[in-house]
Each structure stands twice: as structure tokens, then as C-alpha cells.
Structure 1
Amino acid sequence: MGGVSSSATEFRAGFACFVGRPNVGKSTLMNALVGSKVAITSTKPQTTRRAIRGIVNRPDAQLVVVDTPGLHRPRTLLGERLDSLVLSTLTEVDVIGFCLPADEAIGKGDRFIAEKLAAVKKTPVIAIVTKCDLAGRERVAEQLLAVSRLGEFAEIIPVSAAAGEQLDVLARELIARLPVSPPLYPGGELTDEPEQVLVGELIREAALEGVRDELPHSIAVVVEEMAPREGRDDLLDVYAQMFVERPSQKAIVIGPKGARLKDVGSRARAQIEALLGTHVYLDLRVKVAKDWQRDPKQLRRLGFYD
């Protein structure tokens, strides 16, 4: 403990990332830490497509959180691209948060990730037991013990993003492992993602709500144009295309007489207005891009680069 008091006055800044199998609460946790909705969250697995950065600004530190897609055994070209994005991210951060939910038994996917993390020698790993509000105290204690057997971790911290429990402890432990450095992002920004990317993600989140089939893997959104309406500074025009893989999926997204698409548009618009603080006109179209997840050319066009 000797070095803590001397470093307490020094400003720290650096990068952390969360990894975990799909749908273990990584995006929700990042949003709770940052205090603003910057990564999309959904009850559907595999919704996060990009390493979205959220920035936690504190008087003594700046923690830049990179939210990665869920690490999983890839089945498609998109899956391979997502996994290589995760693994390259792990080598570029100062600390890794390995997320495992309290309310689910440790499975093959968690062990697969633990093996990958064991190979990342130089970066400290904090195991984060998420969703503790969904499990009783006894179950949380069992999970903490099970996690400790998975590998060597710098810390194991139980949290609940939904209830706001232990977030300060987690932030403190993450920040303690950052280098002494001036702020990396000035001006109190919450994210360094271009606004168009965030807007596209909000549209995608609205489209995923309530859909019960294969759609999560099959929707991509491209914001073609985003600009203030001529002669008005209180209205932003947003033109976006939603891409699916098959005509049957297009029919699901549009819904009977266009009702579902209208609902998606109004929910997405409300979120975009909250994010940007202005009135928004949203023009949302749906197109079929056949098997885009397996086509390198289409993946590039939709923003998933090599």
C-alpha cells in the first residue's frame, strides 16, 4: 500500500476494455460507468458491432472504456472479423475487465475466453461478476469462487449496473491500473465515436427490440446523411438505410402495413433526439443485401473493415 498516497495526487489516464461472451452485460456496465447511453444495449446477444469508447471523467483520472463485441467461436466471416477486433483491442489497453454474469453457470464460452486472456501476459485482468441484482447473495458467493478457479485475476469484483452497486469500486480498481498521464480527451466528451455511428447504433437497437428470430445477426444500419435542415437550426435531417439479408427479413422489419418500421423509427428518433439534444426528422429505409455477413465487399461497404 506504500505507493498509494504518493500517486493519489497524480492524474491517471488510459484505456480499459470489457470482454465476455455475448449478452453478459458489457454495454450496460459501460453505460452505467460513463453515466450516458453511448453503447447500444439489447436483450439480444451479439448486438455490439464496434469497439465503442466511453469516457469516464474524474477529477483525478480519465478512464476510456472500449466496449468490444462478445468473444465467441466464429461461424461467419463477420464473426471472424469481430473476434480479431476483440483480440487486437486486448493488446492495446491498460486493463481488461472480464465480465461473467452472476445468474448463469460458467460455461464453455467463459472458459474459451479465460484461455485467450491467459495468453495476454502484460495486461492486468479484473474479473467482473455482473448482474448481481439477479442472483441471491449465496449464488453470488458461489460464482465468485467459481470465477477464482478460472484463472489468475488482479481482482474479482461483483457489480450490478442496473442497481448501481459497486460501480465506484470497479472504477477505482480500473483507474488504479492506468498509467500516470494527462487527459487523453479534453473537454469532457463522453465518446469519440462519430455521431453518425452512434445514431446508426441507436436505430439498430430500436429495430432489434421485440424481434424473436435470427435478425440480430442480420441487421446493419448505414447513416447516409445527417445535416441541419436548411434555414432551421433546431431540426436535424437524418437519412438512414437498414440492411437485412433476405426479403423475408425485410417483411419482418417493416411489419404489417409498415407498422413495425414506423414504431422502430419513432423509438429511434426519440433516442437520437436525447443523444443530440435537437429535434430530428428520420428517413428510414430497408434494403436487402443478400448474405452480407459472408461477403467481404459488402462487409466493407457496411463499415466492417479488414
Structure 2
Amino acid sequence: MAVAMNMNWKEDQEVIEIIKRIKEPFKMTNRAFKAEDTCVTVDGRSIGNGHFGIIAGPCSVESRSQIVDVAKAIELSGANFLRGGAFKPRTSPYDFQGLRSEGLALLRAAKKATGLPIVTEVMAVKTLEDHADDIDIIQIGARNMQNFDLLKAAGQLRKPVLLKRGMSATIEEFLMAAEYILSEGNDQVILCERGIRTFEKYTRNTLDLSAIPVIKRYSHLPIIIDPSHATGDSRYVESMALAAVAAGADGLMIEVHNNPETALSDGKQSLTPVQFNAVMEKVTQLAKIMGKTVG
């Protein structure tokens, strides 16, 4: 049971104005608790409640010229947030792990050059405590979706959080992870569907587009789609991005690299700036048809 109370005092009596019975285990993320759509806004750029957000940039920050050049290119194409990995969770300990603090410094340089707010992933509570001021939207990745200490810490910061769905997580588990953040007092949460693990081998993951209308039914939180990680192949990013818009998503997260063939991580799924611009032209047109404001 979730209870919303307006505390009035008359003759030392506590008056309960509204009692809402919510049968699902997720309460504060539930649309029954809050009917209107949540809108997350950073530096005048919004995601949710009719505002369609575009988050773009490379999987990993590799150098100053790389991240600044990509940031300038995606801004010209209409992106309103810059993504870039400084701390990289990799399956293999021998793969590139990111530039860490140096990567954050380079992201700040890109923000200074373009004004684009920074979206980047953190993997540990200590990293969050040390670098929260350097990040505009804290990304909690699929592998950390149920890192409950990290979720609680992000909730206590009162800073926008982008929460990615775990590779094998149900929608209920996804919303329950978001509940941890909201239960700490932070309702500025953006959900991100990035594909789930199935038996299919022709794509990196299986993009669950049905998660969009289901989450829209049960939750007030905005949901965006990451077609890059979902498909793992740049050839499929455009079609899945357009499908996400048509399904009612509140935004997209797309990987863009100025030279995907030399990328230190996930080059295969990254678009070039020219390809991203072409996708953005179609996305913008379709989003308007769907009644969304891009940017």
C-alpha cells in the first residue's frame, strides 16, 4: 500500500487526505502513485512528458580530439546530450577499461566546447561520491542494475539517473531497481531498454520494444531506447531507432564515433557522424508525427 498524506492538524488529530492501494511491488515508480509523466530536465534540455531526448557519443572516451569532434558533430545534428564512457565495465579484464578520471576531464572539455550535458556511467559508490559533480546524468549500466548500494547512493544525490535494464531482467525487476532510487528521494530517473539476452545470435541482444508500452502503462518514468547495444551492429541502428520512436519512446541513446573501425570499444555498433545525421533527420520527422518535441 502506498499512502499520500496531507497533514492537517485540528484538535490534535492527523487527517489522511488520500490513500492509494497499489498492488504491484513497485510503488513510487507506479503510474497509480503519480498519474502525470515525469520529465527530467538538465540545463534546459528535457526527456519525458512530450520531450524527446537524443543522447549520443562514443562508447569510450579515447582522446580530447575524438570526444570534442564527436560532440560538435552530434550537436549540429540535433543531439541534446553527450554520452561517453570514462569508466568501462568490460566482460574481459584485458579489454580497454576507460581513461577514468582523465576521461571525465575530457568530457568536461567537450561540454565546454558545445554546452551538451554529460551522460556517463559509474560502477561504484566511491566513484559516484568522488565524481558526481563532473556528471550531469549518472548512468547505471545493465551489469549494475541490481547493485543496490549504488542505486541507493544515486538516489541520495538528487541528480538525474539513467538506469539501464539488466541483460536478463524482467520489467518488474527493472522497475523495482528504479524504485530503490526513488525510495531515497530522487524521482529524476530515466529508464533505458538496451536489449535483453535471448537465444538469438544474429544480434548482440534482443531489443524488447514491447517494454515501451508496458512501462508506459505501469510507470510515469520516461523510457528511452539504446538501439546500438541492443543490436550490436550499426546496420540495424536506424530501423530500430525509428521503431522505438513509433512505439512511443521518450528518447534514444546512440553510439557515434568519428572512426568506428579504430574504436577501442564497440566500433561495430557505432555510427559515423554522417550516418548519425541521416538517422536524426528521419527520427526528427517521425517524432513530430508522434507528437514529441525533439531537442
Normalised by the length of structure 1, the TM-score is 0.29
Higher strand share: 1
Q: Return the index of the structure with the highest Cα Rg.
A: 1
TM-score if structure 2 supplies the norm length? 0.30
